[in-house]
Structure formats: C-alpha cells, structure tokens
Chain A
C-alpha cells in the first residue's frame, strides 16, 4: 500500500508523458525508417534498414526545406529587431518621461493588447495588395513590427528602475537615448530575454499570416513550407514527410532543451498566442 502511494504518481505521470511524447518519437522513428517498414506499425526503436539519408535528402530535395528555414530565420529576427527598436524607447518614455497624450497612448496600447492579428489581417492584406507588396519579406513582417505587448511589458519593468540613477546620469551629461538603451534596458535584461523567446517562438510557428500574404514557395517560412510539402507528398511518402517535420520542429525543441527556464518564462509570459 505504501509502495503504491509512492509510485502511483510516477506511474500516472509516466503514462501521460508517453502520450505527450509519442508523436515526437513516432515522427523521428518514421523519419529514419525505410518505406517498407513504415507499413509494419512497430514501435521498435531500431529500424532494420536505416533510411535516414534517403528520407532527409528527399525532404530537402522535393521542396526547398533549407530555404524555408532561412526564410523563417530572416522573418523572425527581422520582426524581433524592429519590435525591440520601436518598443524600448516608447516604453521608456511611458515609464519615465512626461509628455502630452501619455495616458491616452497607454490606454490605446492596453486596448490593442486584446486585438488578435486575425482581426487585423483583412484590412492589412487589402492595403498590402493595393501597394503591390504581397509576396515580400516586408509583408510577412509588417503586422508585427510593433509589439504592444513588448511596450506593455517593458513599461512595467522600466517603472521599477530608480529615478535617482536617471537624474544622476542626466547631471553627468548622458543623453536620453543613452539612458534608455545603456542604463534602463540593462536593468531589464530578463524581460528582454523572455520577450525575445516569446516573439521568436510565436513567429516561427505562425501559419495564419504567411498563408495569407505568401503564395511564392521560395518565400515560405517553415509552417507554410510544411503545408506545401504535405500537399506535394499527400501521404505518399511518410518517411520524407516526417523528415521534413523533424527538420522544422528541431530548432525550437533543441533551444527549449538547452534553455528550458528562459523558454518557459518567455512562452508563458502571456496567454495570447
């Protein structure tokens, strides 16, 4: 009875973890198996014939898988850099400076927090279409260049920065720009790290917006590329399909395993995904 109470939680958690991890295991296993073995439906981890090279090269050859990854990197880092460049000064001004319209701006930002991208997609799409800018990197990044969430978060974090230090820095002849970027931001590095993770993961995994503005395969970020690939293969070659899924999922999973704490802090910072 005592043993039961001791091991019961582990058994329950273990069963749950099996279900949670089965898709990852099956994905990886299928990606290194030969087509003949896929039909055998066995969970045995070692394939009789090792077909990883075939599957992965097919995934990279059938569609420009590496191009998708490069597109994802360009778009995600482009978005993140502009988000930080626009949000940090705004948050600093809101937290530490007095200017007319400050209250109004803060209210607008909090209101904007509740508006999901799916609600803005239609007018933004029409605007980009009229400007002949569909199928560009800019179109993929445009709605995310301002993160109201970043402003909100940095504003909260900057507020706790001591005013005395800012005053002293002003006396010493620091410009406001230097105070903002070199002093105040440095005091909020954990927030910056968590926000960066949040932003990168959200945009790496986003399908909705790229699906709207990109039809050119060469510009597709990983999720859209995966969708194209799944349509091309349409279930004919599961080995290659799973190899593609592994390639796309791997970067985030590896980063998560390496920096678990930062990742969890970043992703759970908000429920808005």
Chain B
C-alpha cells in the first residue's frame, strides 16, 4: 500500500528502531566513539539511583513541577473565569495572556535574566524601592528552581487559560440559568455546583499537559544557569550525560527513566485525546 509506505518507513526509522536501540544501549556501558562495549545488565539503573547529581536533578524537577502545576492550573482557571465574562475587552485580555505562549522561550529567558538582575533589573529596583533587600533570584542557589518555576508559570498561563475558556464555552448557559432559578444566587455557589464539576475533564487535561511540560523544563536552565549547582533538572542532566560527556549507555538508562515518567503522566492524556482533540 504505497499511501502509507513513507509513513511506515519513517515510523520505523524515527520511532521503532531508535526505541529498540535505546533499550539496548541502556544495558551496556557504551560510550560514543569507544572501541569496546560490554553488557552490564541493570548496572546503569542502579548507578542512576545512587548518583547524587541525578537524584538532585530528579528532586529539583519534582519541586519545579510541584510549584508550576497548581499555580499554573488554578491561576489560569481564575483568569479564564474573569476573561470569560468580559464582552468587549475579551480579545485584548486573550492577547495579553497568550502572548508568552508564542514567544521564543530562549529569547525571553535572557529578558528575564535582565529583568531579575540584582542591580540593573526593574524587579529588584521595585523591591528596594519598597525598602527590602534586593533578591538574588539567579545567584542564590536555593532560589534558582523557584525563579525558573515563575518563568514556567508565566509561559504556561495563557495556554491553560485558553483550554479553560474552551471548557467554559462548552458548559451550557441554560444550566447556569437553571441553577440560578433554583436559588444559587451567589456566584461562588454557582461555580461550585455547576462550573467546577462540569470543567472536570478540562481540568484533568490541563493538569496532565502542565505536568508533562513541567517535567520537560530545559530552555530556562540552558540559558540562565547551564545546570550549575542548585538548578540541575532531569532533561539537562540527560543532555549533559548523553551529548556533552558521551556516556551513551548511562544516558540511555536515564532516558528510559524520563520516558517512564512522561508515559505515566500521558496515559490520561492519550485516553482523553482518543475521544476528542482539544482545540
């Protein structure tokens, strides 16, 4: 069947064969360019969970996700609820909040570096104007992950807002009217009895996509810190092992761990997408 032939060929070359090769690498001590390679079983995985750098990267990624997911989802829901009821100004708010989604994150990360600069940036200028000490957003190691989480939230808000707006549009006006007649006069009551339960599937989808993108944090680290102490994250650790240090076998095992996390997170998403594509 020549209609599917190119697609099948590429599916083999891009997905199926590489996945097999990846699994094979992960049980060897292969290093790109090395002359000999030997089978070492699950040694790479054991090493990964004993490797303090990788464990720190895993922990930092989890901390990043724990900040980005709730704030990125619920703040976006709040914005969507406010934007949804605006009649004339809705287009303007949509543009304002969605603009960061389209912007090249690498470029915007350099802008944030400057915005948060201890002496040249307006953020610290405002902080000192209020009489506080300047904050070393990008110099204090314990603030690196929270700072990058703020940038992550800044980028994801508009995306999630649009998904919630689509979800809100799908809830019928009649339902709201019926609840209002039934005595739920208070907007908060109406939100809790109608909007929130009806938004369930949308919220689920937003949580899943936000967590997957949180586990893929990479650009901000590559630009702002190059993975220096305090900002190790999963993908950057993977990048360094696989492509800077050429520890191919070890990096393959890290990749499988990363893939396992993403797969667990995306099972819900695929089930959802199978029923309905979101747009």
By a beta-carbon cutoff of 8 Å, the part of chain A in contact with chain B is: 9-10, 12-13, 16-17, 19-24, 26-27, 30, 38-39, 41, 43, 85-87, 89-90, 92-94, 97, 99, 105, 108-110, 112-116, 118-127, 129, 142-143, 145-146, 148, 151-153, 156, 176, 180, 194, 201, 204-205, 207-208, 211-212, 222-224, 226-227, 230, 235, 238, 241-242, 244-246, 248-249, 252-253, 255-257, 260, 263-273
Contact = CB atoms under 8 A, between A and B. Distances in A.
A122 B252 contact: yes
A109 to B, nearest CB: 7
Contacts, number: 281
B269 A271 contact: yes
A243 B209 CA distance: 32
Given A23-B115, A122-B248, A13 B93 contact: yes
A127 B40 CA distance: 22
Contacts of A115: 15, 19, 259
Nearest to B259: A119
Contact of A114 (B83, B255, B263): B263
B10 A86 contact: yes
Contact of A119 (B121, B210, B213, B262): B262
Given A90-B3, A260-B91, A41 B106 contact: no
Given A21-B99, A212-B243, A153 B277 contact: yes
A156 B277 contact: yes
B111 A23 contact: yes
A87 B104 CA distance: 27
Interface of B: 1, 3-4, 6-8, 10-11, 14-19, 21-22, 25, 32, 79, 82-83, 85-86, 89, 91, 93-108, 110-115, 120-122, 125, 154, 157-159, 162-163, 166, 205-206, 208-210, 212-213, 216, 218-219, 222-223, 235, 238-239, 242-243, 248, 251-252, 255, 258-259, 262-263, 266-267, 269-270, 273-274, 277-279
Contacts of B269: 114, 271-272
Q: Which of A27, A30, A156 has the most CB of B within 10 A?
A: A27
A242 B277 contact: no
Given A30-B114, A271-B208, A93 B4 contact: yes
B97 A17 contact: yes
B3 A97 contact: yes
Given A122-B248, A204-B104, A41 B120 contact: yes
Nearest to B205: A271
Given A119-B22, A273-B213, A211 B10 contact: no
Given A116-B262, A120-B15, A253-B102, A238 B114 contact: yes
A47 to B, nearest CB: 15
29 contacts: A20-B97, A20-B158, A23-B108, A24-B99, A41-B121, A89-B4, A89-B7, A99-B1, A105-B8, A108-B11, A114-B270, A122-B25, A123-B25, A126-B32, A129-B32, A142-B14, A151-B7, A152-B277, A176-B3, A207-B218, A207-B222, A222-B104, A227-B222, A242-B110, A245-B111, A249-B103, A263-B98, A265-B279, A268-B279
B15 A41 contact: no
B279 to A, nearest CB: 4
Nearest to B159: A268
Contacts of B105: 205, 207, 223
Contact of B219 (A86, A87, A207): A207
B101 to A, nearest CB: 6
Closest 6 CB pairs of A and B: A271-B209, A146-B10, A90-B7, A123-B18, A245-B107, A93-B3
A252 B104 contact: yes
A145 B106 CA distance: 24
B273 A267 contact: no
B243 A244 contact: no
Contacts of A148: 11, 15
Given A89-B4, A223-B219, A205 B122 contact: no
A205 B32 contact: no
Contacts of B205: 271
Contacts of A110: 270, 274
A263 B91 CA distance: 13
B218 A113 contact: no
A146 B223 CA distance: 29
B26 to A, nearest CB: 9
Contacts of B107: 27, 222-223, 226, 244-246, 248-249
Contact of B101 (A224, A238, A267): A267
Contact of B277 (A41, A109, A269): A269
A180 B1 CA distance: 14
Q: Which of A39, A123, A263 has the most CB of B within 10 A?
A: A123
Contacts of A238: 114, 120
B159 A180 contact: no
Nearest to A229: B110
